[in-house]
Amino acid sequence: MTDRAKRYEAIRDAVRPQWDDARAARNRAGVDRLRRRHLLTRGGGALVVAALLALVAYHSLGPAAPGEPDDPTVRFSDGSVAVPDAPGSLIVEASSPELILVNLQEGRSRFKVTPDPKRRFVVRAGAARVTVLGTSFSVEHRSGGQVQVQVSEGRVRVDAPGGTWTLNSGEGGEFPGQPRADASPHRATTPEGPDERVATHQEPPEGDDATPRAPTETPQPPPENPLAETSAPPERPKARAESSDPPPTPERRGRGPAKPQAAAGAPPAHEPPEGIDKPAVGWGQLAEERRFKEAAQLLTTIEPVEIQGASALIRAAEVMRFAGQPGRALAYLEAVERRYPQDAQAPLALFWRGRILLRGQPCRAAEVFARLQRQGGAAALQEDALAREVTALARCGRLEQARQRARIYERRYPQGHHRGAMRRYTDPPDDTAEEP
């Protein structure tokens, strides 16, 4: 063993702890203390986790299960709560991150709605519809159809036959459930005077269906300060029900142009509720006044599914078109095809949809134009549909198919308006041909 090793061994022997039973017991107790502390910490952590899980589970509960007789409270996933007076009087018709739609069939219900700009909370009560803008309020649907709305906090918008109102905190009002017999269903009196409440829609002239205007066409300038006018609006060929109103009744269909209450001398549809501020204006009214951008903004708060009637849907699409948002018109046009396939305007909606798609999605546009031709009807649209199908196919890159369809066009419509453009496709392929 070297000297160094001997020195290290001597040091090693000199460095040794004094170990006895007392020290052993003291350290053993220390180990047990650490174990107890660890168990307490782990147990406490588990309790905290369990409490958090219970809290999350409580808050993530959706609407209460139907048929709970003791607790009529309906809780929604976003934290909103509805407390109807009677169980079963409140029906949840839709519950999604974008829309909560409840139907108060009868009686009274209080609502506490969590504000969420991305989600609309709508309460239907008879013919009235209350759109919540983040608030606490109550709705009572009376037996006679009358609807009483009282706002505790925030703001709601009430769409009822005769108009649209905004109720602020502390305000309330009574709204008719059905249009009164002695009043025009199209009109309502506001605190500032008579006001047209039903949108009218100017139909394109006969034959114009065959060549709809381009979506990017510049709208006519709106009249100056139309709301200030008290005289009758210009005559319209037809009047159509605004989408936010209930579905048009048979009596309402085919009515002539509505005239102002003041001019006609008829009583107002109903008096505005006390304490109500300036009434809100419907998107149809705004469109009628050619305030398309404002109408489009209002339309974004309404789901296409809530708009009733092919005409109203097409009108909504037109609003988007004139507001410079043709892409947003697609949803309304698709709704026409899906919900009103037998409507006389369905082919027009389909053609228009194809034109919008042609600008960015030519392959889908080609399918739409082809479907329009397969469905037949609207003979005036068929020639244009075929010509645009050729253009769409060429833009989609399906040149051979475009050439075949162009030859079909030449055979069917030898004197057609688009024969010059079709010739470009029947000749050696040239996908730079201009749109017909």
* Interface contacts to other proteins, rule CB under 8 A: 4, 7-21, 23-24, 26-28, 30-31, 33-35, 38
Smallest separation (angstroms) from other proteins to the CB of 50: 22
- CA–CA dist 357, 215 (Å, integer): 11
- The residue among 6 and 238 lying less far from other proteins, judged by its C-beta, is 6
**Residue 307 · residue 332 · CB < 8 Å:** yes
**Residue 410 · residue 426 · CB < 8 Å:** yes
Smallest separation (angstroms) from other proteins to the CB of 3: 9
How buried is residue 391: exposed, middle or buried, by Cβ count under 10 Å (0-12/13-18/19+)?
Answer: buried
Q: 3-class DSSP state for residue 232?
A: coil
Name the residue type at position 167. L
- The residue among 24 and 54 lying less far from other proteins, judged by its C-beta, is 24
- The residue among 12 and 411 lying less far from other proteins, judged by its C-beta, is 12
CA angle 227, 286, 336 (to 5 degrees): 155
- CA–CA dist 154, 121 (Å, integer): 13
- The residue among 24 and 52 lying less far from other proteins, judged by its C-beta, is 24
CA distances from residue 139 to 86, 102, 170, 175 in whole angstroms, order as listed: 13, 11, 14, 11
Smallest separation (angstroms) from other proteins to the CB of 89: 59
Name the residue type at position 198. V
Smallest separation (angstroms) from other proteins to the CB of 20: 5
- The residue among 35 and 423 lying less far from other proteins, judged by its C-beta, is 35
Smallest separation (angstroms) from other proteins to the CB of 14: 4
Smallest separation (angstroms) from other proteins to the CB of 43: 15
Smallest separation (angstroms) from other proteins to the CB of 123: 58
**Residue 48 · residue 40 · CB < 8 Å:** no
- The residue among 2 and 231 lying less far from other proteins, judged by its C-beta, is 2
Which residues touch 19 (CB under 8 Å, ≥6 apart)? none
- The residue among 6 and 423 lying less far from other proteins, judged by its C-beta, is 6
- The residue among 14 and 57 lying less far from other proteins, judged by its C-beta, is 14
Smallest separation (angstroms) from other proteins to the CB of 18: 7
Maximum Cα interatomic distance, the chain, rounded to a whole number of Å: 127
CA distances from residue 222 to 144, 195, 226, 237 in whole angstroms, order as listed: 41, 17, 8, 19
Closest alpha carbon to 280 in 383, 195, 342, 377: 195
- The residue among 27 and 211 lying less far from other proteins, judged by its C-beta, is 27
Question: Within a 10 A sphere around the Cβ of 33, how many other Cβ atoms?
Answer: 10
Smallest separation (angstroms) from other proteins to the CB of 7: 6
